[in-house]
Amino acid sequence: MLGVVIPTYNEAENIRELIPRIKEVDKDINIIIVDDNSPDNTSGIAKQLGAIVFVRKDERGIGSALKFGLEQGVKMGFKRLITMDADLSHDPKYIPALISKDADLVIGSRYVKGGAIENWPLQRRLISSGANSIARLLLRFNVRDATSGYRAYTPRAVEAISPCKSADGYEFQICSVYHIFKSRLQIAEVPISFHDRERGKSKLDSQKIFKWFTYVLKLSLS
């Protein structure tokens, strides 16, 4: 049984297109949306399209939304949980590849052979590859794309990330790789081609990048 967890904030136009595209890959996939009370009715559209929708009224953050969705997915009995962004950057056609590998965490990677980024400006590429280099250097794991949000988790991997309580923002991706690695569970990467969002607004800003960096620094010193 496969579940797909998607954190959303103001992704109405994108979610309208993404849910049917996931269903085209496998009509039996269960889609779990964790929406932080988006004013643009993302949650209403997702419900109409048949998703399981959680609306959080008092909380914000991609990391806490992902953790919440993954834990709900485990409680519901899913044996594999995919996470992906709502903004059509992660093509659902890679879902079969993500679940084909026998590892506790399988990452859809832009930085392994065959992986690509289609239409990112130079500045965005530098932030992403710089973040990955910093994480690899400070945390000493050999994962090429530890910031990718396109992943497949086993329930065992979800259990291993329980220490990531305070990682409520973008640092959640690093925290989860770190703890899965420290738990000696297997991590694999499969190539994906990443497509930059064309609609809706990015939620990543310089304040969140700074928070990410201080988090990784603290984690490396802990």
Ligand X SMILES: Nc1nc2c(ncn2[C@@H]2O[C@H](COP(=O)(O)OP(=O)(O)OP(=O)(O)O)[C@@H](O)[C@H]2O)c(=O)[nH]1
List interacting residues with ligand X (CB under 6 A): 7-9, 11, 34-36, 60-62, 65, 85-87, 89, 197, 202-204
Strands (E), 9-131: 30-35, 52-55, 80-83, 105-109, 116-117
- CB proximity list for 175: less than 8 A, separation 6 or greater: 63, 161, 163, 164, 167, 215, 219
Among 11, 35, 36, 87, binds Mg ion (CB under 5 A): 87
Residue 157: CB minimum distance to ligand X, A: 19
Give the number of other CB atoms < 10 A from CB of residue 68.
Answer: 19
CA distance linking residue 70 with residue 40, whole number of Å: 24
11 interacts with, out of Mg ion, ligand X, none, CB within 5 to 8 A per kind: ligand X
Residue 89 sits in the site that holds Mg ion (CB under 5 A): yes
Give the residue with the Cβ less far from ligand X, 4 or 157. 4
Residue 104 sits in the site that holds Mg ion (CB under 5 A): no
- Between β-strands 151-153 and 105-109, what pairing exists: parallel, antiparallel or unpaired? antiparallel
CA distance linking residue 30 with residue 171, whole number of Å: 26
**Which residues, numbered 197-216, are part of the site for Mg ion (CB under 5 A)?**
197
The percent helix, strand, coil of the chain (3-state, each to 5) is: 45, 15, 40
Residue 126: CB minimum distance to ligand X, A: 13
104 interacts with, out of ligand X, Mg ion, none, CB within 5 to 8 A per kind: none
Give the residue with the Cβ less far from ligand X, 136 or 197. 197
Rg of the chain over CA atoms, in angstroms?
A: 16
Residue 221: CB minimum distance to ligand X, A: 25
CA distance linking residue 18 with residue 7, whole number of Å: 13
Give the residue with the Cβ less far from ligand X, 97 or 204. 204
Nearest to 160 by CA among 142, 186, 139: 186
Give the residue with the Cβ less far from ligand X, 101 or 197. 197
φ and ψ of 151, to 5 deg: -150, 165
**Which residues, numbered 142-201, are part of the site for Mg ion (CB under 5 A)?**
197
Q: Which stretch binds Mg ion (CB under 5 A): 73-81, 86-94, 128-136, 186-194?
A: 86-94
Residue 56: CB minimum distance to ligand X, A: 7
Binding site for Mg ion (CB under 5 A): 85, 87, 89, 197
